[in-house]
Structure 1
Amino acid sequence: MQYLTDTDLAGERGCILSDCGTYRYLLTRPAEPMRPMKSMALFVMLNPSKADVTLDDPTIRRCRGFAKLWDCNGLAIANLYALRSTDPAALWSHPDPIGPDNDDYLWNFARECGDVVCAWGSNAKPERAARVASILTDAGARLWCLGTTKYGSPRHPLYVSSDQPLIEWCAAIAASTKRDPQS
């Protein structure tokens, strides 16, 4: 496992990558420059892009904005699938898009943070979303989201207003609704 950190004027950034670099299990960022980590917003999204210890993408920048809005001075990003890809469709052709250590990391991150913002959008396989929701709640986490799709999936941060309030998310209710057409 590669535990990478970098400190610059914005504060400490970090990520946990598999030794081969195929999987990213965690990405951390300060939301507010040069403040010590007191509270961290944990987002669980679909899959990581190419963002790493030094590179941010639009989703990471949006999540930093939400974390700052909520008075968190740090954020962590984990995913249903740890496979690094800019094309979510590539998940379905890869032999192991989840990653060998992802579920253990998800449980530990949820246990440490307590509150989790579910934000994987409508492209997740329903059985994987249900499995991860179970992992998170078994770890004692309370689940939140930035609104839901019409089929109950937690919305992705890029597709909501920047002042969207958090709402509690119930995986059981989402599982009982119709499937998103893309799943």
Structure 2
Amino acid sequence: MVVTKKKENKMEKGAILSDNRQYRYCLWRIWDNKKSLVMFIGLNPSTADENHDDRTIKRCIGFAKEWGYGGIYMTNLFAYRSTSPKNLYEVVSPIGDNNDRFISEYADRCKLIIACWGNHGRYLDRSLEVKKLINNLYCLELNNSGEPKHPLYVRKDQQITKFN
């Protein structure tokens, strides 16, 4: 495991990745440690890391700031890093070692937990498993299959709703 963090423009940036950087277990951005934090649970990590934000991370930061939080933790149903969810079906272990432990550990640090994994969450029953781990889940909106929508597919002023 590689844990890295740094301070950049008054924001603490960090991530926990596997040694080969193919798996990301948690990413955080904290701009005000006096305020509560929010955790987003996505499907799988894309290109964001301890140094760079992707569009999803930027959108999650925007929601958290709008709601008055001081930072975010980003975890995922699957820790395998890929720009396409279809690649999850092609790897032997898309969940990653100890991913549930990281989800639980960082959920305990947050006042609000948002499920936002989109359409592929039912693969390997991951959405069901994670819903058992986290009792008080919210989401931005539900898609047609009843799974929580991805942050990039909802309006910027979307209000949260109870998920489980």
Do both share a fold (TM > 0.5)? yes
Work out which of the two has the higher radius of gyration on C-alpha atoms and give 1 or 2: 1
- Any stretches of 5+ residues in structure 2 without a counterpart? none
**Is 2:117 the counterpart of 1:120?**
yes
For 1:149, the equivalent position in structure 2 comes to: 143
- State how far apart, in whole Å, the 2-side matches of 1:80 and 1:37 are: 28
Q: Where do 1:2-81 residues align within 5 Å?
A: 2-30=2-30, 32=31, 35-81=32-78
- Where relative contact order (Cα < 8 A, 6+ residues apart) is larger, the structure is 2
Any residues of structure 2 matched to 1:160-175 within 5 Å, and which? 160-170=154-164
TM-score norm. by structure 1 comes to 0.85
| Contact preservation (8 Å) 2:42, 2:117 | yes
Deviation at residue 58 of structure 1 after TM alignment = 0.5
Hey, what's the Cα distance between the residues in 2 that align with 1:68 and 1:123?
27
How many matched pairs?
163
Q: Alpha-carbon deviations, 1:28-70, whole Å to 9, x = none?
A: 013x5xx334211100000000210111111010000000011
Letter aligned with residue 83 of structure 1: Y
- Rate the CA distance shift 1:37–1:55 in 2: closer, same or farther, 3 A: farther
Q: Percent same amino acid at aligned positions?
A: 39
- Secondary structure at 2:69's aligned position in 1? coil
| Distance in structure 1 (CA, Å) of the matches to 2:36 and 2:23 | 26
Alpha-carbon deviation of 1:21? Answer: 1.1
Deviations, residues 103-155 of structure 1 (Å, cap 9, x unaligned): 11111112222431000011222511100111122xxxx11000101221011
Could you tell me which residue of structure 1 aligns to residue 128 of structure 2? Answer: 130
**Quick one: which amino acid aligns to residue 165 of structure 1?**
Q
CA contact 2:37–2:112 (8 Å) conserved in 1: no
SS at match of 1:112: coil
Runs of 4+ more than 4 Å apart: none
| Aligned partner of residue 39 in structure 2, secondary structure | strand
Unaligned runs of 5+ in 1: 171-183
Partners of 1:162 and 1:144 in 2: CA distance: 16
